[in-house]
A and B are shown apart, each in its own frame.
Chain A
Amino acid sequence: EPEVTQTPSHQVTQMGQEVILRCVPISNHLYFYWYRQILGQKVEFLVSFYNNEISEKSEIFDDQFSVERPDGSNFTLKIRSTKLEDSAMYFCASKDSYYEQYFGPGTRLTVT
């Protein structure tokens, strides 16, 4: 069964460093999302992406964040200058033209 994959599973970085989180959505899906979950808190939306552009972004998704679909398969989230409060699980999700979103296994980002 097709699934969303994410790499790395765990990323440790120092404050101020840039990180790139990678996702390979399900191959025939058209809509892509990034969510994050701080330990013990709700899953919260960051950004949605369709037709090679951002469809919607949350207040969290400030100028330090960017997304890209550099080729036909990868979908990346870049954080330019990480802060301690960026420590969280980051989930990529994708969907086709229907409503159901499927999540990847996540990347645990630890900022020290």
Chain B
Amino acid sequence: QKEVEQNSGPLSVPEGAIASLNCTYSDRGSQSFFWYRQYSGKSPELIMSIYSNGDKEDGRFTAQLNKASQYVSLLIRDSQPSDSATYLCAVPDYTGANSKLTFGKGITLSVRP
């Protein structure tokens, strides 16, 4: 059974700060990684995907992947109150096209105005 760990949190940052969210995974062979944002009572919304070691930037979001250390992180620059949500890390169970996702428990972020 694949494991995805998100053990930090909840996280509270002031508006305009950088929020850093971390995730570790158990399977060294994992190839793709996803960050979903989930507002309270809503469904997971895909915000970032990353497949290669290093950084991937999309607007205020940066995903960082380190396969050797088996962690993936999400940085949110210039945090806004609207970023307050739970952020879920998800990893496919295997590299086939049909693989299910295994989710971490999520990190709840609160951005203080």
Contacts and interface: CB of A to CB of B under 8 A. Distances in A.
Interface of A: 31, 33, 35, 41-45, 48, 50, 55-56, 89, 91, 95, 97-106
A42 B103 CA distance: 7
Interface of B: 32, 34, 36, 42-46, 49, 51, 88, 90, 92, 97-98, 100-106
B98 A50 contact: yes
- The binding surface of chain A is classed by DSSP as strand
A48 B100 contact: yes
A91 B105 CA distance: 16
Contact of B103 (A31, A44, A105, A106): A44
Given A42-B104, A42-B106, A99 B88 contact: no
Given A42-B106, A104-B43, A105-B42, A99 B98 contact: no
A106 B49 CA distance: 22
A31 B105 contact: no
Contact of B92 (A44, A55, A99): A99
